[in-house]
Amino acid sequence: MKRNIIDTSVLEMDDNVVAIKRVSKTVKGGRNSRFSALVVVGDHNGHVGAGVGKAVEIPEAIRKGKEAAMKAVVEISMDDNNSIPHDYIGKFGSASVMLKRAPEGTGVIAGGPARAVMELAGIKNIRTKSLGSNNKQNVVLATIEGLKAVKTPAEVARLRGKSVSEILN
């Protein structure tokens, strides 16, 4: 899996614990119980990442999840009114998240897992709808995949070797 390497040591990241759940593994002597934490990190300025940590104690699971999220930080494209440049449907597993751009003053209209990603990414105006699976981990990852795939007109023009006016018209 190819990751965009972003130096997160220079970024001031906030974190948000989206979900903590108790998981168990059945072994010969009984059940081993641990905790799994889904953590989203972001700098409110176009960088966001998600990670999962598992440990016997909750604080340790959160710390591990935060470390995993810092390694998976990606940069996202935003337009001038802190929305996304165009509509897109992000997919991960059986979860799909529809991302629709919104005008200034709309706010973040999103469900719990997608809202955490949008707020930490710094997006202020967007409408989202979770389609398919409601699994929190897959919804978070589908949202990030969608945000990663969205491109500004300038990026599209550069990739195609054309001017921005040729792309928009």
- pTM of the model as a whole: 0.89
* Overall residue count recorded for the chain in this entry: 169
User: Is residue 23 domain-resident?
Assistant: yes
Backbone φ and ψ of 87, nearest 5°: -70, 150
Answer yes or no: do 69 and 89 share one domain. Answer: no
The whole-number mean pLDDT for each consecutive block of 10 residues of the chain, a chain of 169 residues, reads: 60 91 93 96 94 96 96 91 92 95 92 93 94 94 94 90 86
- pLDDT attached to residue 54: 96
User: Is residue 5 domain-resident?
Assistant: no
Residue entry with tokens 């897109």: 88
Task: Please tell me whether residue 69 adopts helix, strand or coil conformation.
Answer: helix
Answer yes or no: do 83 and 58 share one domain. Answer: no
> Order of strands across the sheet with 47-55?
14-27, 30-42, 47-55, 74-75
Rounded to an integer, what distance in angstroms lies between the CA atom of residue 155 and that of residue 135? 32
- Number of neighbouring beta carbons within 10 Å of residue 16: 17
Instruction: Report long-range pairs for 68-72 (Cβ below 8 Å, ≥24 apart).
Output: 68/39, 69/15, 69/39, 69/40, 69/41, 70/8, 70/13, 70/41, 71/3, 71/8, 72/3
**What sign results for the dihedral spanned by CA atoms 21, 135, 84, 150?**
positive
Residue entry with tokens 């629709």: 100
User: Is residue 118 domain-resident?
Assistant: yes
Chain centre to alpha carbon of residue 87: 16
Answer yes or no: do 46 and 66 share one domain. Answer: yes
Answer yes or no: do 33 and 88 share one domain. Answer: no
CATH of the domain at 115: 3.30.230.10
Domain count along the chain: 2
Contacts of 28 (CB under 8 A, 6+ apart): none
Query: Domain range holding 96?
Result: 77-158
